A and B are shown apart, each in its own frame.
Chain A
Amino acid sequence: MQTGEKNGKIILLVEDNPDDVELTLRALKKNNILNKVVVANDGVEALDYLFGTGAYEGRNTSVIPQVLLLDLKLPKVNGLEVLQQIRNYGPTKLLPVVVLTSSMEEHDLIASYQLGANSYIRKPVDFSKFIEAVKQLGLYWLVLNEPPVIESAI
Chain B
Amino acid sequence: MRLKERLTVNETLKRSLRRAFLRRLRRRAFAAAGATAGAAALLVALLWSSSLLPARWGETSHVLAADWSVGEMKTVARLDRTTLAPQGYAASSAGLYLSASVGGLYRLDGARLEKIADGAFGDIDLSPDGRTIVWSTGEQLGAYDLLTGEKTVWLKGGAAAPEAGHAADGPPNEAVYYERPVFQDAHTILLTRRTIAPRETHGFVVRASEIVAFDIRTHAVTVLGEGENPAPVPDKGGFVYVSVAREVPDPEEADEAPSLRPTFEIVYRDEGGQEKVIAHGKDPAVSPDGRYVAYVHVPQTGSFDTPDPPQDALEGVWLVDLDGRTARRLSFNVPAPNAIRQDGRWTVLPYYSYFKPRWAEDVRSLYVLQSTNVDPGGEMRLIRIALDDRPPGPAAVVRAYETATLRGDDFFALRLFPGDQLPPMSNPRKVGFAVLRAEDAPNGERATIDVAEMWSYTSMPYASMVRVRYTLGQEGGEWRILRNERLGEQSVALDERFDSPALVMVDEAGKQTLFPVSEAREAFGTTDAARPTAIAYLPKHGEIIIALADGGDSWIGAYDLEQGAFRLLDRRKGAFAARLLASPDERLLAAELVPPAGGAPTVRVYAADGGWSVDLGERLNADLLYFDEDGTLYTQLSAPGYRALVAWTIDAGGAVERRP
Chain B associates with chain A: no
Task: Give chain A's interface residues, CB within 8 Å of chain B.
Answer: none
